[in-house]
Structure 1
Amino acid sequence: MKKLNDKQRKLIEDNYSLIWHLHEKYFTKFKDFDTYMDLGRMAICKAALKWDESKGNFGTYFRWVLQSEINKYYIKWHSPTEKMNRNAESLDAPVDERVDAEELTIGSLLVSNDDIESQALTTVYYQGEFNKLSDKQKKIIYMLLDDIEHKYIAKEFGKSIQWVSWQLGNIKKIMHRAKAVRS
């Protein structure tokens, strides 16, 4: 990675408070403040490295870079692999660490292997259908999962709210067809 020169370090120092200010103004839905600050620090360095004075205000450019970093974070956070890694539990893990009984594990509480197999097949099938969606459609779904309103989704894509609704209709049709085929 490139090193910052003195002018870029000064730019970061002068604008460091923008990280907090932008959180209060635009990114209050980002609940994990420590992660937000990490993303903000990374974004301000990237913005300082690439900013060109002739292209306008640093604050505006920094907000765009920060939004891009947050979007990358959300996309990674909601990727199937990341979700599986976060939610992974061993079937031998105790249900409650306060209980001494070794036989009380997640695996011992499962009803039957048939139910697990059916659920796994259904999950794999829908994941396959989800993977067929376009990157835009996936990003819309991830943004909706983060409780981002339709108007902000539309703004992110530079489109209208009607376009977002149309995309959601297409997604629902695709997943409905998948459900009909699966049944």
Structure 2
Amino acid sequence: MALKSVTVRAVQALAPGESIWDADHKEAVRGFGARRQRDAVAYVIKYRAHGRQRFYTIGPHGSRWTPEKARREAKRLLGLVADGEDPADEKAQAALQAADTLRRIADEYLKHARKKQKPRSYAETERHLLIDWKPLHSVSVFNIRRRDIAARLAEIAETQGAVAAGRARAALSAMFNWAIREGLDIAANPVIGTNRPGGAQGA
């Protein structure tokens, strides 16, 4: 382990298993470093949380993460630590949210809807969620925005008509309301506030 400025030259000079920790300049961030494991170099921070020393990987050295960008991110993360938060917990939560895609939540909602809706209504709900909203299936429900929904509604209205788009909108809104009641910490139903197909505004 060496204490020295984390620079591109210093990072590239690391041998497998070696690490450096930021020091020796006015912008140095204590706890920020870089380490090489095999062929890859990763920017990391070390800190104490819950009474234990922990390591958190910011990201690999490369096109996104330069020493300067990684140092700024390290400063932000260590600020969270100073406020009593644990970046590792934040990362785990983000991973869980990423796994909650629209398709996954739609599948869970459809199990509920099958028990509550009449067969004809359920078939329509299933069609809207699994076919009409398929372009958003891979997106986390935490990342779907009103603009995403409005754009897709416009596409449905153009290809299938305003009535079909309105029903697709209602099915998605019902799914989000159910998901929120199930405990998903979504700030708000993103369907609310989008225009109803045909030009009217509505919830």
Common topology (TM > 0.5)? no
Shorter-normalised TM range: 0.3 to 0.5
TM-score, with normalisation over the residues of structure 2? 0.32
Q: Which has the larger radius of gyration?
A: 2
Which structure's relative contact order is higher, taking Cα pairs within 8 Å and 6+ residues apart? 1
Choose between structure 1 and 2: higher strand proportion: 2
